[in-house]
Structure formats: C-alpha cells, structure tokens
Amino acid sequence: MKCIGVLLLVCGTLVGPQLAHAETPPLHLASLEWLPYVGRSLPDGGMSGAVAKTVAARFGHDIKIDYFPWKRAMEAGGSDPDFAGYFPAYHTDERARQCHFSASMGNSTVGLATLTTAPLRWRVLDDLAGNKLGVVLGYSNGAAFDQMIKSGKLVVDASESDTINLRKLLAGRVRAVVIDKAVLRYLLASDPALSKERAKLVFDERPLAELTLHVCFQRTPLGLKLKQSFDAALLQTDIAKIENAYFDKLDRTLGAVRR
C-alpha cells in the first residue's frame, strides 16, 4: 500500500502540472499579416501580439495566433468555435453588434500615402472625391470614410494587402493609398523593393482617423467572460511602454531611424 501511495504521489507530481496547464487552454485568436502590429515572422507575433500576450498572461493564458487574409480572419475568429476572437480590430458599430469588443489595446493613425511629387490638396473628405484611392479589402478606415465609400462618394480600389496598394501607387494605378502610419514606416524599412522607393512616398500630414485597436471576442457567454478578464488585465498593463520597447527593438534590427 505504501508503494502504491508513493506511486500515486509520483504520478500526481508528474501529471498534475500538465493537467493544470491543459485546463487553461491558450487564448486562440485569428489575425492577419499586418506588420508591425501582427505577423507570424515577428517576435511575439507583432507589437499588438506582444500586448495581447502580456495581457493574457495576467489572467493565466498563453496566446495562440493563426493568420489569414483579414476577411477570413474576421470570419474564423468571429464564428469558428476553435477561436476566442480576432484582433487587432478597429471599433465599428457593425462589429460591435457581432462581437464583444475589448477595451483599447493600442492606437492606429490612419492616413494617406502619396507620391512626394504629387501630394493631395484636401481639407475635408469631400475633397478626395474623384481620386481613386487604394484600400485593403475588409478594412475599416473610420466611420466617415467608410460611409462615403458605401454612398459612392469615394472611389476605391481594394487589394489584399498594404504592400500591393503601395506598389499600385508607385505604378500610378491609384492616386493615394489609405494606410496606417506605423505600417507604412515598417514596410519602407523592411521591404527591399519598397525601401528602394521610400524617397518617392510620403505620409500625408492630415490623418483620416485616429482609431483604437481591440480584440473582438465572440458574442458568446465564454467570449463575454474572456473580454471581461482581458479588460481587467489591460488596466494593469502599460501599453505604451510595451509598444515603445517593441518599436525600438525593431528599429535596431531593421536599421531604421526612429521618427
């Protein structure tokens, strides 16, 4: 009996931690390749990935990220029971009806990339009418901008990625490209082809929108519980500190000059 007791104790010691770990599955999120915010080739899955990883660890979860084109990421993260949600998503009223949005886990400055030799002169969105603008399929770019697209007041050319859009801009196929400021900075520093052309591209000084980034948890009881735990952990997290350290590291790696 003593032997059996010792054996059970040893087995419990060996198996216990594994079972405990198994009882807390990773926070499985769908995402996209949107460097430097998220990307499979980046440390911690990107800057937003690093924030999500830090926050999730505060309530006992690891992070697992699968990458898709954005529309597919929203579909999988929003309804596939294997996922908890998708990120990093801009807040929109339509999405808010379909999922439980976390509190803000970062910010995005959205604006226009243009050719340095052909800047756009505009003051309000109506001034952009008549110009073909490159956008990424499935992206929201602020409520006002999105509504003008739906109403047909703005002409857009949708592609699968920011990189494709920038190539279209350089080729003269679009007048300007709607893009996040940090994404443009990263692509011009990391993409060999675009880096050679960086002097030809500029980020317009007038932003289209300042948007917050969120995890869009599935609209289920579990999704609501995860959202609440995530939000509570966010309150204990210095997001700016994580982002600044992450970009400093990337800049050193890429040899880019910090703005």
Give me the DSSP letters along 82-130. Answer: T-SEEEEEE--HHHHTTEEEPSP--EEEEEEEEETTS----SSGGGGTT
- Are 184 and 113 a contacting pair, CB within 8 Å? yes
The SS3 call for residue 38 is strand
pLDDT, tens digit only, all 259 positions of the chain: 444 444 433 444 444 444 444 468 899 999 999 999 999 999 899 999 999 999 999 999 999 999 999 999 999 999 999 999 999 999 989 999 999 999 999 999 999 999 999 999 999 999 999 999 999 998 889 889 999 999 999 999 999 999 999 999 999 999 999 999 999 999 998 899 999 999 999 999 999 999 999 999 999 999 999 999 999 999 999 999 999 999 888 878 776 444 4
CB-hemisphere CA count at 13 Å for 230?
A: 27
Paired tokens of 204: 């317009």
d(CA 228, CA 88): 17
Residue 85: alpha-carbon gap to chain centroid: 13
